[in-house]
């Protein structure tokens, strides 16, 4: 039975949906090479029968490592999710709005494409196996539709509501860990971006390379030119807590059902180029490469 994986920041890990899921530490690396976002390769996550939660930046405890967006172990997180049985991924991301006249703080945005300005390497497999996956669609349309449907009933007036739902939008991913300057924000808006964040890439691409339907819940917590964790941003994140918890509560049942279905990603059709499986150093990625080859390269 497939599991739903939710990846989010530290504010998500305390959600009541995860209270019955035990913490476990997964070694997603084994071969100790630092490349492509493996970090130290140890991923702390909560796991239940049909739900996995992975704190994107590491668990906030004395014996764990915390990673900023520029050093987050994106590959290790997703390998752990896949090995623990994930068959779909929903990612939560706090973002800034580049369209203050249209996308406001405390809105709910379900992006349908992105602009990767992070400069991070999205080659998951290293050498030996090439995945030229398509960027259109950027996310799972079915999963984006589901995320929008769940959010629609939580839009309205009042404290525990999103102000507005945006079913589409362009997420520009920046390197981090600093926020953008006024000049950078202006240029990114001129380039067509709607929201700006630090964590979507290479996470979205790597999820596709692992044959995982992926979609993002973007939560505007500030205007890009006013992004400052020391002032209003942390307060807004705290105020969003109750409605985000209710959103997750409503999301989990249909998203679990989605994860239990068979999916074939259009982004991978015709994009698998097998070369030398023996050159794939990570044993988990070696296994996944064979699975991708069998699924997407075998002609009926």
Mean pLDDT in the chain? 89
Helices marked H in 71-178 — which ranges?
74-83, 141-152
Among 263, 288, 291, 260, smallest CA distance to 2 is for: 260
Strands 42-47 and 22-27 come out as antiparallel
Model confidence, pTM: 0.93
Report pLDDT digits (tens) over 206-244: 999 999 999 999 999 988 776 665 567 778 888 898 999
Does the pLDDT of residue 260 top 70, yes or no? yes
d(CA 93, CA 86): 19
| CATH fold for domain 3-296 | Rossmann fold (3.40.50)
Q: What pLDDT is stored for residue 237 in this prediction? A: 83
Q: Quick count: other Cβ atoms within 10 Å of Cβ 162? A: 22
Task: List beta partners, residue 272.
Answer: 131
Average pLDDT on 241-248 reads 92
pLDDT band (50, 70, 90) for residue 300: very low
Q: What pLDDT is stored for residue 226 in this prediction? A: 64
Does the pLDDT of residue 76 top 50, yes or no? yes
d(CA 91, CA 213): 11
Does the pLDDT of residue 112 top 70, yes or no? yes
Q: What pLDDT is stored for residue 38 in this prediction? A: 64
Average pLDDT on 132-150 reads 97
Which one is predicted more confidently, 36 or 188? 188
What is the residue extent of each domain of the chain? 3-296
Taking CA atoms, 69 is separated from 101, 170, 257, in Å, by: 27, 19, 30
Report pLDDT digits (tens) over 5-45: 999 975 676 677 777 788 899 887 765 454 455 667 789 99
Which one is predicted more confidently, 228 or 252? 252
Which one is predicted more confidently, 268 or 13? 268
Q: What are phi and psi of 209, to 5 degrees?
A: -60, -25
Contact in structure between 83 and 46 (CB atoms under 8 Å): no
Taking CA atoms, 35 is separated from 89, 124, 126, 157, 210, in Å, by: 22, 9, 8, 46, 17
Which range among 248-252, 253-257, 296-300 shows the weakest confidence by mean pLDDT?
296-300
Q: What pLDDT is stored for residue 249 in this prediction? A: 93
E strand or H helix at 188: helix 182-190
Which one is predicted more confidently, 297 or 143? 143
């Amino acid at each position: 039975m497939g599991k739903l994986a939710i990846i989010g920041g530290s504010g998500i890990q305390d959600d009541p949906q995860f209270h019955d899921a035990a913490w476990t530490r997964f070694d997603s690396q084994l071969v100790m090479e630092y490349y492509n976002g493996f970090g130290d390769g140890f991923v702390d996550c909560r796991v239940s029968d049909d739900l996995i939660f992975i704190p994107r930046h590491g668990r906030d405890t004395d014996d764990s490592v915390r990673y900023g967006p520029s050093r987050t172990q994106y590959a290790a997180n997703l390998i752990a999710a896949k090995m623990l049985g994930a068959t779909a991924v929903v990612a939560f991301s706090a973002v800034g709005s580049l369209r203050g006249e249209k996308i406001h703080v405390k809105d709910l945005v379900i992006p349908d494409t992105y602009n990767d300005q992070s400069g991070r390497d999205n080659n998951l497999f290293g050498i030996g196996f090439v995945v030229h996956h398509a960027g259109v669609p950027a996310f799972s349309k079915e999963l984006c539709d589901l995320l929008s449907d769940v959010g629609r009933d939580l839009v309205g007036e009042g404290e525990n509501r999103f102000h507005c739902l945006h079913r589409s939008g362009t997420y520009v991913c920046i390197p981090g860990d600093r926020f953008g300057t006024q000049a950078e924000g202006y240029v990114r808006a001129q380039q067509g971006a709607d929201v700006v964040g630090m964590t979507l890439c290479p996470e979205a691409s790597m999820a596709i390379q692992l044959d995982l339907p992926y979609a993002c819940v973007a939560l505007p917590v500030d205007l890009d030119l006013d992004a400052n964790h020391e002032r209003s941003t942390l307060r807004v994140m705290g105020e969003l807590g109750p409605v985000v918890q209710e959103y997750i509560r409503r999301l989990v049942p249909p998203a679990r059902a989605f994860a239990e279905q068979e999916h074939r990603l259009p982004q991978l059709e015709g994009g698998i180029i097998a070369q030398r499986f023996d050159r794939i150093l990570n044993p988990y990625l070696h296994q996944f490469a064979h699975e991708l080859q069998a699924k997407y390269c075998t002609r009926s």
